[in-house]
Chain A
């Protein structure tokens, strides 16, 4: 943990387009990778997570992929809507604790 890079820092897309946010990490022991959404002035909310024994997980318009060999994982949001606008944080670590990426501010333009 403690060393996760997240890109891009800001992302602007048109409503209906897809958005992809990528994170890379360095700790081979990391086995848990959650994604949190934080709207302005609100607390972070878990939107999806993936464990190291799974390569992909999908929940409606949201999907996460994990490449353990390359040590990177990504969040994919399809058919974006204005209410998807928020800051998204990836995190990596173990079930015991995890560390957050620097965040991506997603702006979905109507």
Chain B
């Protein structure tokens, strides 16, 4: 168990458009999910903590109006990159924490976003 999926796996969009990335916990409920950004050969940078039924908590320096997060159910969190620019091109990866537990995060496979 503890499988996390992301959709799409890769996406190309034009500057100025918005793109939505989905993160799903397939076989468990996740009250809390996390969104990370990973640049090539670099670490995972925590962007925000997504909590089911409440507003996301963003890390310092992350624009909440640019990276909209919605966690409407116990198995789905979405990240919408609004008015995308080439500098938003990156690998976005989510993780989910099983409801009732307090540590292990299960990671999704990631979404490669390219903004042209």
Contacts and interface: CB of A to CB of B under 8 A. Distances in A.
Interface in A11-47: 32, 34, 42-46
Given A43-B93, A45-B107, A100-B45, 15 more contacts: A2-B59, A32-B103, A34-B103, A43-B109, A43-B110, A49-B104, A89-B43, A95-B102, A96-B49, A96-B102, A101-B43, A102-B43, A103-B41, A103-B42, A105-B41
Interface of A: 2, 32, 34, 42-46, 49, 89, 95-97, 99-103, 105
Contacts of B59: 2
A49 B102 CA distance: 13
Given A43-B93, A43-B109, A43-B110, A97 B104 contact: no
Nearest to A46: B104
A95 B114 CA distance: 33
Contacts of A100: 36, 43-46
A46 to B, nearest CB: 6
B43 to A, nearest CB: 5
Q: Of residues A46, A101, A105, which shows the largest number of chain B Cβ atoms within 10 Å of its Cβ? A: A46
B103 A49 contact: yes
Contact of A97 (B4, B45, B49): B49
Q: Of residues A44, A100, A101, which shows the largest number of chain B Cβ atoms within 10 Å of its Cβ? A: A44
Contacts of A44: 44, 93, 107
B43 A43 contact: no
Interface in B36-53: 36, 41-46, 49
Nearest to A97: B49
Contact of A43 (B41, B49, B60, B108): B108
A81 to B, nearest CB: 23
